[in-house]
Amino acid sequence: MRNIFLFIRRYFNFLSFLALQALALSFLFRYNKFHEAAFASVANEVTGRINGQYNTVEYYFKLKKANENLVKENLALRDLLRSNYQQPDSSKRLVVDSIRVDSLKPFQKYIYRDAKVVGSFVTTQTNFITIHRGSSQGIQPDMAVIGPGGVVGRVVNTSPNFSTVMTMISRVFKVDGKLKNTGERGSISWDGQNPRLVQMRNIPKSVPVQKGDSVLTSELSSIFPPNILIGTVDSVLNDPSTNFYNLRLKTATNFSTVQFVYVVQNRLLEEQANLEKATRNTNE
C-alpha cells in the first residue's frame, strides 16, 4: 500500500493530466455529434478486429467438438439412406393389431455406428487401424468400415472396447467394385506398393474407361453397402496378352490421416452366409 501512495505521489502530475485528458475527450465525444460518430466508427473497427481474432482462436480449440458433432450428424443421415432398407413384399398384405410407429425399421438392412481411430499401422504389407468400439458396443468381425471419403476396410478382431480393422491397403484384402459410369464389375486389391493406389482387375477392354472415373462398391459385396466410393481411376494399364484392363485406382480414403470412421453392420449377412454355405455343402 505504501508503494502505491509513493507511486501516485511521484507521478501525480502525469496521472492528473491523463485523468483530465480522458474527461475532456469524453465531453468532446459526448456533446459533439461528428466526433462521437468518428469515435464510434474507430471503436467498432478495433473491437471487431479483436473479436475476430478471438473467434479464430476459440474456433481452433473447438474443432474437436465440431468434428464429433459432424460425425454424429453424418451417422444419423447415413441411417436414413434409402439404400439401407429392403423393400417389403408388396404382394401380400399383413394386418397388425397395433399402431405401427415406423414401417421401415423392420426392413433396415444396414446399421451404422461411429468410431474414432486410436491406432494406425500403415507401413507394412498387412495394415490395420484400431478403433475405440468393441464387442460391448455391438462390433463384430467382418463388419464393413467406411470413412468420410469412402471404403476403409473390415473388422477382423474385437475386444470389449476396441476393434482392429484391416484396411484396404492390405495384401489379403479384397472387395468387389464397379465403375460408376458403366456398372462393369471387377475385383479390387492392393499390390503392396503405393499406399494410395489399389488395383482393379477383370474390366473388359470393350468398356470405356477414363482417368478420373469413380469406382464404387457393387451390390455383390456381402458386407459393404452398395455405391460407397472406393477410389478414382488413376491410370489404365493395357496388357496386350489379355482382353482385360488392369486399372490403378487412387483410394478415396487417406489412411495416414483418417480420424473418424463408421462401422456398418449388414443385418442379413448371417442369413445370406448360412444359405450359401448350405448350398455349397449340397453340391459337394
Q: In a 10 Å sphere around its CB, with 0-12 CB exposed, 13-18 middle and 19+ buried, how is residue 101 labelled?
A: exposed
Say if residues 227 and 216 touch (Cβ distance below 8 Å).
Answer: yes
Q: pLDDT value at position 98?
A: 43
- Kindly compute the dihedral angle of the four CA atoms of residues 267, 270, 275, 279, in this order, to the nearest 10 degrees: 140
144 by DSSP, 3-state: which?
Answer: strand
Q: pLDDT value at position 42?
A: 55
Which residues, including other chains, have CB under 8 Å from residue 166's CB and lie 6 or more apart? Answer: 126, 127, 128, 153, 154, 155, 156, 172, 173
Mean pLDDT per 10-residue segment, the chain (284 residues): 73 79 70 58 53 54 63 66 53 45 62 88 82 90 91 92 92 92 92 90 90 92 90 89 90 88 89 86 75
Q: How many residues can be counted in the chain?
A: 284
For residue 78, which of 14, 148, 136, 142 has the smallest C-alpha distance? 148
DSSP state, 125? Answer: S
Say if residues 149 and 170 touch (Cβ distance below 8 Å).
Answer: no
The gap between the terminal CA atoms of the chain, to the nearest Å, is 99
How many beta carbons lie within 10 A of that of residue 54, not counting itself? 10
The DSSP result for 215-270, as a single string, is EEE-TT-SSSPTT-EEEEEEEEEE-TTSSEEEEEEEESS-TTT--EEEEEEETTHH
Q: pLDDT value at position 215?
A: 95
Structural domains in the chain plus CATH codes:
2-61 (no CATH), 111-269 (2.40.10.340)
For residue 190, which of 204, 178, 174, 203 has the smallest C-alpha distance? 174
Q: pLDDT value at position 50?
A: 60
Q: pLDDT value at position 247?
A: 93
How many beta carbons lie within 10 A of that of residue 93, not counting itself? 6
Which residues, including other chains, have CB under 8 Å from residue 87's CB and lie 6 or more apart? Answer: 107
For residue 168, which of 140, 184, 149, 183 has the smallest C-alpha distance? 149
| CA neighbours closer than 13 Å in the CB half-sphere of residue 23 | 6
Bridge partners, 110 (sequence order): 266
Say if residues 141 and 158 touch (Cβ distance below 8 Å).
Answer: yes
Say if residues 105 and 137 touch (Cβ distance below 8 Å).
Answer: no
